Structure 1
């Protein structure tokens, strides 16, 4: 089945999942079937902020367990429902001292992490989209926006994963010509990210010098 490529102003979760299914090649489909009402109620109780529609739509189909999208470096770990919670060890809570970590805003909702770089949405300003922050600097001031919506984040993550795993045994060419994505996955990935997430093309593709 060919994968449709279209740019939309705000990609809904269900729409993103339908598009991912067109190219998904893993043996298991990680997302649920919309039966997570008890977990949504729990999360609502843990956060003192109204959950935006985009997040509520995602929680209804969020995976039961953590799973990984492959990236060039550390994989993107997408959290399963049990880990979608207010308390995040190492970010807003220190399990060694059993104390809260004060510099993590209570209105940040953590969806995933990439090598301990948290991926969040701001419940106070959900219109700002999905942001990846950089750990190790002593605060959370450094980061970048990577998607307008959770659906767009999932689609771009899944597309990069697919490009790195399902075209060739050597998807990355690192030689005198630079650090490049191999021709076949590059021809598949780059135009799709340009269409699906043009604002964030560099965030997803600039690692590769042939992007």
Structure 2
């Protein structure tokens, strides 16, 4: 596992992402820091990463900002009132325009949902935090390499680049259908 994490971290650094090891003492939360999240920030260390994609970018906060990111999900952003449909074992670890990527501490999986639906009913999207960042960075890499050719005249993603994305996601997700589903879910 350590070799995989080091390879992933090196690939992300080469891609130009802001990464730095972050210690558990950076955590500002009112609940204990889950061990998987502590390891993720120590070993991978996303530091307020914005990853380009179709639509809003993906955002992964630094550990020091992670608890504040729970506003609007775990509690009401203005009143501070605890929101009852947000599970205690969920932490929003990234978002895309307010649509959260949710770490489920009981399973170690990353779930995804769209905001504004009335209640949270997220579905599993990634098997781990490492798979999440590897996949989101893949969207960023394909997006950035495509340049102005990324969109067709109707502003839909050029099918050629969608196929490049899917081909790049297959080794991360272990199947073409999973890669296609992820591309669909995230607007490609």
Q: Would you say same fold, with TM above 0.5?
A: yes
Aligned length: 182
- Give the secondary-structure state (helix, strand or coil) at the position aligned to 2:19: coil
State the partner residue of 1:170. 149
Greater fraction helix: 2
CA distance in structure 1 between the partners assigned to 2:26 and 2:95 by the alignment: 20
Bigger Rg, structure 1 or 2 = 1
TM-score normalised by structure 2 residue count: 0.80
Higher relative contact order (CA 8 A, sep 6+): 1
| Greater than 6 Å deviation, 4+ residue runs | none
The answer to whether residue 31 in structure 2 is matched with residue 47 in structure 1 is yes
State the partner residue of 1:134. 114
Instruction: Report the CA distance between 1:140 and its aligned residue.
Output: 0.6
State the partner residue of 1:3. none
State the partner residue of 2:168. 192
Contact 1:194 1:201 in 2 (8 A): yes
- Give the secondary-structure state (helix, strand or coil) at the position aligned to 2:166: helix
Greater fraction strand: 1
Gaps of 5+ in 1: 1-7
Q: RMSD of the alignment, in Å? A: 2.8
Instruction: Report the CA distance between 1:134 and its aligned residue.
Output: 1.7
TM-score normalised by structure 1 residue count: 0.72
CA distance in structure 2 between the partners assigned to 1:95 and 1:190 by the alignment: 36
Instruction: Report the CA distance between 1:125 and its aligned residue.
Output: 2.1
Instruction: Report the CA distance between 1:187 and its aligned residue.
Output: 5.9
CA distance in structure 1 between the partners assigned to 2:46 and 2:171 by the alignment: 26
Aligned pair partner of 2:126 in 147, 156, 160: 147
Aligned pair partner of 1:202 in 161, 176, 180: 180
Instruction: Report the CA distance between 1:136 and its aligned residue.
Output: 1.2
Contact 2:50 2:60 in 1 (8 A): yes
